[in-house]
């Protein structure tokens, strides 16, 4: 199965990788690796991601920071 990649205005390098280690981009929330299993996230996991200055969760794609 081949994954079709569409042009994305986001400059995060995961969009250019065929084997991105995360499911979603931390900057735009877009899917970068659909082959990774998605598991429910916890608020504590999201809190860690916010402290790492991620705008979106790399696991579930949920927006973590509003208004950026």
Q: Return the pLDDT at 10.
A: 85
Q: Return the pLDDT at 48.
A: 95
Contacts of 33 (CB under 8 A, 6+ apart): 14, 17, 19, 20, 21, 22, 23
Phi, psi dihedrals of residue 38, rounded to the nearest 5°? -100, 125
The C-alpha atoms of residue 12 and residue 43 are separated, in whole angstroms, by 24
Q: Return the pLDDT at 66.
A: 86
Q: Which band of pLDDT confidence, cut at 50, 70 and 90, is reported for residue 2? A: low
What digits encode the pLDDT tens for the residues 18-44? 889 999 999 999 999 999 988 889 999
Question: Could you state, in order of their start, the residue ranges of all structural domains in the chain?
Answer: 18-68
pTM: predicted TM-score of the whole model, two decimal places: 0.77
């Amino acid at each position: 199965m081949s994954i079709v990649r569409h042009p994305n205005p986001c400059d995060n390098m995961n969009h250019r990788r065929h084997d991105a280690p995360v499911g979603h981009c931390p900057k735009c929330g877009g899917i970068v690796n659909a082959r990774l299993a998605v598991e429910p996230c916890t608020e504590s996991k999201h809190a860690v991601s916010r402290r790492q200055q991620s705008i979106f969760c790399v696991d579930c794609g949920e927006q973590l920071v509003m208004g950026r």
